[in-house]
Amino acid sequence: MNDSIGAEIGLPGYDPQGFYCEIFGGPRGAAPPSPAIQKRLRALDTRDLSSRAQAAADELYNLGITFTVYTEREAIDRILPFDVIPRLIGAQEWTRMEAGVKQRVTALNLFLHDIYHDQKIIKDGVVPEHLIVNNKNYRPQMKGVDLPHGTYVHVCGIDLVRGSDGNFRVLEDNARTPSGVSYVIENRHMMLRAFPDLARDIGLRDVDEYGARLHQAMHEVAPPDLSEPQVVLLSPGIYNSAYFEHIFLAREMGVPLVEGRDLEVENDRVFMRTTAGRAPVHAIYRRIDDDFLDPKTFRPDSMLGVPGLFEAYAKGNVTLANAVGTGVADDKAVYAYMPRVIDYYLDEEPIIENVETHICGEEEGLKFTLDNLEELVVKPVGESGGYGILIGPQASKEELAQFREKLKADPHNFISQPVISLSVCPTLVDGKIEPRHVDLRPFCITGADSWVLPGGLTRVAIKRGSLVVNSSQGGGSKDTWVLTE
């Protein structure tokens, strides 16, 4: 470790190792967002920091802020590791990021409306037809279904990474059921309780209106001519990995949390069973995948959904958020075409660029990937949570050989990207402040128009040197501070 760097920035022992640092800037001299916070961090005693961090972790567990890793059945209640040193975003940088997220969500909604209606983008040769109609998340049942305001993606999480040049790029789009916003809000509450001295008088953007904004958007997309539409949150139940978040969001919106067994459909209208009898339901924020929503339309063996729900939805008697079939936009191969999608629908350049991406289903992309496998990150197009990824520089010869065969056998299932030198943030690990790699997931809510939660979920790779930030792979989270000036 280079102690001279730590001494130079006033945090002895801390060495960003040439990566862009989210608090102290980058090797190319990028301006840090807040000298005041830097000064306060330098004044913190690591023993006091560790003590308060442990108290924060204990409180998170006692509050039930947990998630489940399905591959570890014995660990039903696990807290998402929370690091107490925040990540900073300056006001000007946030303005640009917010515009970029809104632009991308606008294009995604236009794209989804098109592929389920006229398919002009396919006919004009911008996106290959096979990429859409052969996608496992494409739902032919959605053809011709018109949605209020043309909104398919009501809640979107756009994963961003910052490279060594200091610029943010889009890593992937999460348009089905993006999770993690509960941690954003709870992390903030925890920080304000545990570290009021760090946050005091710095001009910090608030995150508490998310629930109200989501509720407002659900009202805007509900069937028309309703003075007070009934909104509910549909959850698969207590054993879902994000069940804490379902409870949290229902409370934040002030709406009932229901499971499939609590709803029924009669004459193509949805009703909720209550202690006072049946009550009509007009808008459903669902956290159940398409396949399990309605056993009459999708998987007949589903015990989680509501028989007849899709027919009521297709006839416009209830709104589902996110819309059925939005998973096409989650696909990592479709992601590679997003710059062209934005240009096609909006006649604009992307405000936030994609990470360079090679589509292995195309001859040129496959050849490049096979020729440079040791230097690339290769991802299956339909997976999430960090599963099935090959990080070439960290892989053994045996792993590379096995993955090479997978690519040859099913090239359409993979994309490849260069290894990004992810930015780092000071992180408290075993009583020491060390750099750890981070990404960022801003959340955008869309009803009649779009609103972006200031900041988002900063995920942090707790393991030294790791680039994998997913909670299912051992990652944690930080509070994300967007500054007003």
Count of structural domains, the chain: 2
User: What residue spans of 117-170 are helical by DSSP H?
Assistant: 120-123, 129-133
Residues 312 and 229 in one domain: yes
Three-state secondary structure readout of 367-406: HHHHHCHHHEEEEECCCCCCCCCEEHHHCCHHHHHHHHHH
Pair of tokens at residue 191:
């920080």
- Over residues 348-353, the mean pLDDT reads 97
More confident residue, 388 or 317: 317
My answer on whether 230 and 293 are in the same domain is yes
Domain boundary among 292, 317, 342: 317
Which pLDDT belongs to residue 146? 97
Q: Label residue 300 exposed, middle or buried (CB < 10 Å: 0-12, 13-18, 19+).
A: exposed
Looking at residue 81, its pLDDT comes to: 81
456 vs 480: CA distance, rounded Å? 6
Segment 314-332 mean pLDDT: 95
Band of residue 70 on the pLDDT scale cut at 50, 70, 90: very low
- Read off the DSSP letter of residue 34: -
d(Cα 433, Cα 86) in Å, to the nearest integer? 12
Task: Provide the residue range defining the domain that includes 257.
Answer: 224-317
Cβ distance 5 to 425 under 8 Å? no
Q: How many CB atoms lie within 10 A of CB 274?
A: 11
**14 found inside a domain:** no
Is residue 256 included in any domain, yes or no? yes
* 5-57 per-position pLDDT tens digit: 554 556 777 888 889 999 888 766 556 667 778 888 888 788 888 888 888 87
Indicate the DSSP class of residue 457: E
Domain edge (last residue) among 285, 317, 349: 317
Cα 19 from Cα 422, distance rounded (Å): 7
Q: What is the average pLDDT across 72-100?
A: 81
Q: Do 366 and 298 share a structural domain?
A: no
Nearest to residue 312, comparing CAs of 287, 336, 280?
A: 280
Both tokens of 377, joined, read 């990150």
Single out the residue in 378, 398, 418 at which a domain terminates. Answer: 418
Task: Tell me if 381 is assigned to some domain.
Answer: yes
Q: For residue 262, what are the contacts with CB-CB under 8 A and spacing of at least 6?
A: 256, 272, 273
For 301-326, b/e burial (b = at least 16 CB within 10 A) is ebebbbbbbbebbbeebbbbbbbbbb
Whether 442 and 101 have beta carbons less than 8 Å apart is answered as yes
- pTM value is 0.91
Q: Is the pLDDT of residue 1 over 80?
A: no
Q: Specify which residues 425 forms β-bridges with.
A: 436
Query: Do 294 and 363 sit in the same domain of this protein?
Result: no
pLDDT in tens, 369-404: 999 999 999 988 866 655 678 989 889 999 999 999
Tens digit of each residue's pLDDT (9 = 90 or more) over 162-196: 988 889 999 999 999 899 999 999 999 989 888 88
- 303 with 373, same domain? no
Query: Residues 234-251: pLDDT tens digits?
Result: 999 988 888 989 999 999
Which pLDDT does position 36 carry in this prediction?
Answer: 79
pLDDT of amino acid 421: 86
Do 298 and 371 fall within a single domain? no
